[in-house]
Chains A and B, each alone.
Chain A
Amino acid sequence: ETGVTQTPRHLVMGMTNKKSLKCEQHLGHNAMYWYKQSAKKPLELMFVYSLEERVENNSVPSRFSPECPNSSHLFLHLHTLQPEDSALYLCASSQATGTPGDTQYFGPGTRLTVL
């Protein structure tokens, strides 16, 4: 596997379910990101991790809980979501954070539907 991978690619869940999204990067990067893309809206940055430490949380509801066990893996744990949380969730990685010109590389995304 190369680049950034995400599993599952599609997920349908009820509002009372608990599920997790997984992201893995094979680029040797030190920073990882979660983004949300809703229909007709720009990509919204949710969380930023640098060297496994969360450095940014953009006012995301607590029903989304990130976890970064090491610099190659990033999880997004989902609990009691709402239908408006249905979106494409994208993971990205970069060499570092806060560096101008540091390119982010994206995974293919997980299409989440909350019923």
Chain B
Amino acid sequence: DQQVKQNSPSLSVQEGRISILNCDYTNSMFDYFLWYKKYPAEGPTFLISISSIKDKNEDGRFTVFLNKSAKHLSLHIVPSQPGDSAVYFCAASPLGRYIFGTGTRLKVLA
């Protein structure tokens, strides 16, 4: 059974609008969460992370929100740009090991 789930395989958003990518997890012992972005023919690149002791972390256009009671993580990108089109993976980290979701393909329309 998957411990980290990204239930939306794809998402399309108009340029300039907000993109919201969602992730759910099952294990309340996870202590760190990360988002990675992957372009075709490249490896995943680290985007942003959040510790389980926080509920929000912001880095420029990217903000990650953590709702521990709901075991839910989300990534907000605002404003969205065409260059943000990629596959986004969330990962949960128990003690430094990563457990990944299946990814959400984001397409930002110009």
Contact = CB atoms under 8 A, between A and B. Distances in A.
Note whether A and B form a binding pair.
Answer: yes
Interface residues of B, number: 25
B32 A100 contact: yes
Judged by DSSP, the binding face of A is loop
A108 B43 contact: yes
B44 A40 contact: no
Contacts, number: 59
Contacts of A105: 46
A73 B70 CA distance: 41
Interface stretch (A12-20, A41-49, A61-69): A41-49
Interface of A: 4, 6, 9, 40-43, 45, 48, 56, 90, 92, 94, 96-109
14 contacts: A40-B102, A43-B89, A90-B44, A97-B96, A98-B97, A99-B96, A100-B31, A100-B32, A101-B32, A103-B34, A104-B98, A106-B36, A106-B43, A108-B41
